Amino acid sequence: MRRDPRSADALLGLAAIAVRQGRYERAQNLYLRVLESDPADPTAQAALINLHGGGDGVQSESRLKTLLAAQPDSPPLHFALGNLYSRQRRWSDAQQAYFQAYALDPDNPDYLFNVAVSLDHLRQGKLALQYYRMALSAADLSRAAFDRNAARQRILELQP
C-alpha cells in the first residue's frame, strides 16, 4: 500500500476488513477508489452492490447481468448475483449463481458455503451436507467469512 496507494488488491483487502468491522462508509470509499483506477473491476462492482443490499432488486439484478455479460468469468459477480437472489428467496437462481462462482473459483470457502446454504433451502440435504463439509475444509486453507460453528452445527443436523 505504501508503494502504490492505488493498488487494487490492497484497497480491496482494506475494504473487506472495513466491511467486517461494520465500517461500511469506509468500505464504500475504498471500493470507489478501486473503480477510479479500473471502472470495470468486477470485485469492487460486486462488493458495492452487495454493500448496498441490492437496493432496488430489479435494477441491481439488471446491473449484475450486464456486468456478467461483459465479464462472464468473474466469480465475484456471480457471487453477488447469488446474494441478490438469496435476499429475494429465489433459491434455485441463487444456487445456480453460487455454483457458477464456485466453478470459477473452487477453492473459495464462501462460495462453497453459499452453494450449501442454497441447496439446503432447496431441500437437497445430502448434497448440501457435502458442500458444507467442503466449505469447512476450504476454510482451513484460506480465509472465510461464514460462521464455521453454524456450518458444523448444520452438518450435525443433516447427517443421517
| pLDDT tens per residue, range 24-44 | 889 988 988 888 888 888 889
| pLDDT tens per residue, range 46-90 | 888 888 765 667 888 988 998 899 889 999 999 999 999 999 999
147-155, Cβ contacts within 8 angstroms, sequence gap of 24 or more: 151/113, 151/116, 154/116, 154/120, 154/128, 155/129
Comparing 76 with 118, the larger pLDDT belongs to 118
Check residue 93 and give its pLDDT. Answer: 98
Alpha-carbon gap, residue 106 to 120, rounded angstroms = 19
pLDDT class for 149, splitting at 50, 70, 90? Answer: very high
Domains in the chain (CATH in brackets) are 1-93 (1.25.40.10), 106-160 (no CATH)
- pTM for the predicted model, two decimal places: 0.80
